[in-house]
Amino acid sequence: MQTTPLTGHVGASVEDVELGAMTDAEFDDVRQAFLDHCVLVFPGQNLTVEEHVAFAGRWGPVSTSPFVKYMADHPEVLHLTNLGKANAVTENWHYDSSFLPSPSSLTILSARRIPIGGDTMWSSQYHAYETLSEGMKRMLDNVRAEFTGTRLAKRVGKESETPFCLHPVVRTHPETGRKALFVGHPGDTMRRFEDMTLEESLPLMEYLYEHSTRPDRIYRHHWTKGDVVMWDNRCTMHYAVHDYGEQSRDLHRISISGDPPR
């Protein structure tokens, strides 16, 4: 197995391994590479749905999200298609399911049909936290924010049922022990700080959101049919670019359950 870093702070390409027929030893190597690099790219895998499900099962129980429809014959698999730019909810930097008490720990995407365009970007929130000043780190210690599912609820016309949850804005990774910034889109994904109004919260939320996505901590992936990409939802945010008009774009997504952020 060959692992090649893709940027200075996040992402690595993994080659010479077949995810559909990997050994336990190979899986141990993949797990360590995942913890080291946060985003792993496996080119040319062309997984069947069954192989995708089997590989995901090695990582733990599946996590699902409200307001989205999963495949009837594979209820753990979300089929991502082109719903049009107006209906895209992922054109912002975000953590998956941050509005749930226990957001997913990781996500595995398998590319089946790819347009021209449609890149996905990831940003290291380890690096975002570590480059804050010591004064800002102290100020954010034990601060919580309200995270909401506004974008998803609005898309399906269930704004009155919008879920929300309070989480720390700095979380500690349960496996590596490293701290990561845990934020979202100001006033939308991340509504306000606990016990503060939106007006009071907004300036700092906007600063943290901008800080978390600076170019020196981003990997941008140009998809190719058959790619499998997985990312750590506990220490990276991501952004799916919708620049491909009416072209077809089909990916299968499986997410793995996580723990409440601490």
* pLDDT score for 17: 96
Give 136-161 pLDDT, tens digit per residue: 999 999 999 999 987 776 766 776 67
Closest CA to 171 of 37, 36, 261, 38: 261
Domain boundaries, the chain: 2-256
By DSSP bridging, strand 250-256 and strand 62-63 are antiparallel
* pLDDT score for 161: 72
Three-state secondary-structure class, residue 174? coil
* pLDDT score for 186: 94
Give 171-198 pLDDT, tens digit per residue: 999 999 999 999 999 988 999 999 999 9
pTM of the model: 0.94
Give 76-112 pLDDT, tens digit per residue: 999 999 989 988 888 999 999 999 999 999 999 999 9
Mean of pLDDT over the chain: 95
CATH fourth-level superfamily of 2-256: Clavaminate synthase-like (3.60.130.10)
Give 231-248 pLDDT, tens digit per residue: 999 999 999 999 999 999
Residues 6+ away with beta carbon under 8 Å from 235:
38, 124, 125, 126, 173, 176, 178, 180
Cβ contact 171:162 at 8 Å:
no
* pLDDT score for 160: 64
Distance (Å, rounded) from C-alpha 60 to C-alpha 123?
Answer: 24
* pLDDT score for 105: 98
Tell me the β-bridge partners of 165. Answer: 147
